Amino acid sequence: MSIRALPPSLPLAELLAVRHGESVSNVVFAEAARVGHADGSLAYREATVPLTGRGREQSVALGRRLAALPPGRRPELVVCSPYARARETWDAVGEAWPAAPAPLVDERLRDREMGVFELLTPLAVERRAPEEATRRAAVGEWRYRPPGGESLADVTLRVRDFLTELAAAAPGRRVLLVAHDAVLVAAGRVIEGIGAEPPAAAPVPNASLSRWIADGSRLRAAEFGDTAHLPD
C-alpha cells in the first residue's frame, strides 16, 4: 500500500493565515519586472518596508471579512510576523474589526531572508552577481540559498518548529497567522507532512486568506490564497 505523505499531528481547531497587504517593495519589484529595470531605490531594511495605501485598503477589506464570520468561526488567537508590513496589516484589520485579538509576535514568521541580496530585484541580482543568478536557476527556487540568506527549505524548517510549538500550546483553538508568502507556502508544506513534494512556485496574493481545518488531530487544506473579499 503506497502512502502519498504522512501529515503531522497538529491538533488545532482551524489554522488561518494571511499574507500582508501590498507593500512598497511589492510595487517596486513588480514595476522592475514589467519594464526590465534593475531598480535600486528601496531605502528600507527588509523588516521596515511599509504598506502602500492600497495595501492598507486591502487589509481593511480583510478585516471586514473576518468580522463577518460567525462568532464561533472567528480566530481566537493571532500570531504576527515582526516585520512592519505584517504589523501594519493587522492594525488596519482592526479598523474594520475593532474586537480583533491583540497579536502575539513570533520571529519565526518573518519573511525569507535574502542575505546579501536583501531587497534587490532579480534583475539587479543578475547584473551584480550573474554567477549567483545562474546557480539559482540550476539549483531551483526551493533549494537555492543566497549568500547569508535562506532557501525556502530553510524557511520550512523554522515554520515547522513554530507550528509544532503552536499546536502544543493552543490545542483545539482557532489561530490566525499574519505573515508572508514564503511562510504561507512553507506552512502548507509542513501540514502536508513527511514525503510531500515541494510545492511549485506560485505567488500568494497580498491580503489573501488561506485556511486549514481540523481532520482529527491533523489539519487539511480548505482554501489557499483566497481574495474574494478584496476590491477589484
Model confidence over 19-77: pLDDT tens digits?
999 999 999 888 887 877 766 556 678 899 999 999 999 999 999 999 999 999 999 99
Domains along the chain with CATH numbers = 14-22+52-115+146-226 (3.40.50.1240)
The pLDDT, as a whole number, for residue 40 is 59
Stretch 112-138: mean pLDDT: 91
Residue 198 vs residue 109, higher pLDDT = 109
| Element spanning 211, H or E | strand 209-215
Quick one: cell of 222? 480548505
Stretch 88-117: mean pLDDT: 96
Stretch 68-89: mean pLDDT: 96
Q: What is the DSSP code string of 30-53? A: HHHHHHT-------S-GGGPPBPH
**Residue 87 pLDDT exceeds 80:** yes
Quick one: cell of 86? 505584517
